[in-house]
Amino acid sequence: MTDRTSEALPISVRNITKTYGRVHALDDVSLEVRSGEFLTLLGPSGSGKTTLLMVLAGFTRPDCGSLKFGDREVIRTPPHLRDVGMTFQSYALFPHMTVAGNVGYPLRLRKVPKTEIGRRVEAALETVQLGGFGDRRIDQLSGGQRQRVAVARAIVFEPRILLMDEPLSALDKKLRDQMQIELRHLHEKLGMTTVYVTHDQREALTMSDRIAVVNHGRIMQLATPRDLYERPANRFVADFIGESTFLPVSRSGKDVLYDGQRLLCEVPQIETDNLLLMVRPERVVLSREGPRDGVNNFAATATEVVYQGDSFLLHADLPGGGQMVLRGAMRGANVTALPAVGESLTLCLAPEDTVLIDGSER
């Protein structure tokens, strides 16, 4: 396949709404996907991810809104004229056709000459590392191979936009991890503007240039994996990406207090009467020798200690009625003696790991 990075197209979604009866599958969604970007829609089941992808592909007509590929308004353009390749949530391969028959289908639909079809099908199969598999039947393939056939079919006509709906969700973990890296490499090689859908936050973090977190048909936050994890816009995003516990805090002038204690932290400019301290378990440091200088110290009592091989989890109660969870590395003193339930400890949070967020859910 040729390198077409220079020909990738940006996507502009403006104020798109799609309702089914009383369900707002998409609720006034606006989104800009950059040319050549790998953007992931991440959200729980039923949040509207597939609906948005179907709108991009042209299989679903929204109630209102605008959709542009580059400068071109495409909201009324039928799917096969949109220059979009797509893999569906169920692979949607044709079981009665061979691998080559499946992959060549979009080319036949576009009336590409027969000799040309053979050449391009083989090139697409090479790209997904299925060279020589053209004559196989679909039911002779493993899940991972079927997935690759679906990808080959989506890219065979060299579309400028590639849409993928949970392509790896049916695969076991090991294969999924491997395919994540492969799809990412494929994207780097082909350079198509890619919109990828998953409900798996780790997959989204692994693969994406940027992630749009979707809930109830709305975009909660659009940011790089790092910004999303480090600075979630609200509690929903913080809960959905990674693990966290939350502690209620209060403002006192310019300060922020937890249980009467002033926190060393950056105070964000957010208007909310529900300010929360977000604590990521891997950022909490265990001190068994009391408070430390230059950090936020929380006196705590261990309530649960769970050995997990490479790490351990410690749940603790704080005097103010809150709970904190710490994930610690299994090394050093922890290998010989983990903290015991009931033990009094100090949990430390560096100022840069003391992150305040808007506690609202949406």
Binding site for ligand ADP (CB under 6 A): 20, 23, 25, 43, 45-51
CB of 25 to ligand ADP, least distance (A): 3
Nearer to ligand ADP, 43 or 159 (CB): 43
At its nearest, how many Å lie between ligand ADP and the CB of residue 16?
12
Could you write out the three-class secondary structure of the chain? Answer: CCCCHHHCCCEEEEEEEEEECCEEEEEEEEEEECCCCEEEEECCCCCCHHHHHHHHHCCCCCCEEEEEECCEECCCCCHHHCCEEEECCCCCCCCCCEHHHHHHHHHHHCCCCHHHHHHHHHHHHHHCCCCCCCCCEHHHCCHHHHHHHHHHHHHCCCCCEEEEECCCCCCCHHHHHHHHHHHHHHHHHHCCEEEEEECCHHHHHHHCCEEEEEECCEEEEEECHHHHHHCCCEHHHHHHCCCCEEEECEEECCEEEECCEECCCCCCCCCCCCEEEEECHHHCEEECCCCCCCCEEEEEEEEEEEECCCEEEEEEECCCCCEEEEEEECCCHHHHCCCCCCCEEEEEECHHHCEEEECCCC
Task: Output 45 or 269, the one with its CB closest to ligand ADP.
Answer: 45
In the complex, least distance from residue 65 CB atom to ligand ADP, rounded to whole angstroms: 15
Select 59 or 112, whichever has its Cβ closest to Mg ion: 59
Provide, rounded to whole angstroms, the least separation between the CB of residue 20 and ligand ADP: 3
Of 50 and 127, which CB lies nearer to ligand ADP in the complex structure?
A: 50
- Partner whose footprint covers residue 85, from ligand ADP, Mg ion, none (CB < 5 to 8 Å by kind): none
Interacting residues with Mg ion (CB under 5 A): 50
| Residue 20 interaction partner, one of ligand ADP, Mg ion, none, beta carbon < 5-8 Å per kind | ligand ADP
C-beta of 54 vs 128, nearer to ligand ADP: 54
CB of 10 to ligand ADP, least distance (A): 23
The option from Mg ion, ligand ADP, none interacting with 253 (CB < 5 to 8 A, set by class) reads: none
Q: Which does residue 48 bind out of ligand ADP, Mg ion, none, counting CB within 5 to 8 angstroms by kind? A: ligand ADP
- For residue 11, the minimal CB distance to ligand ADP (Å) is 17
Q: Which does 25 bind (CB under 5 to 8 A by kind): ligand ADP, Mg ion, none?
A: ligand ADP
307, 338 Cβ separation under 8 angstroms: yes
Nearer to Mg ion, 47 or 244 (CB): 47
Residue among 6 and 45 whose Cβ is closer to ligand ADP: 45
**Least Å distance between CB 220 and ligand ADP?**
13
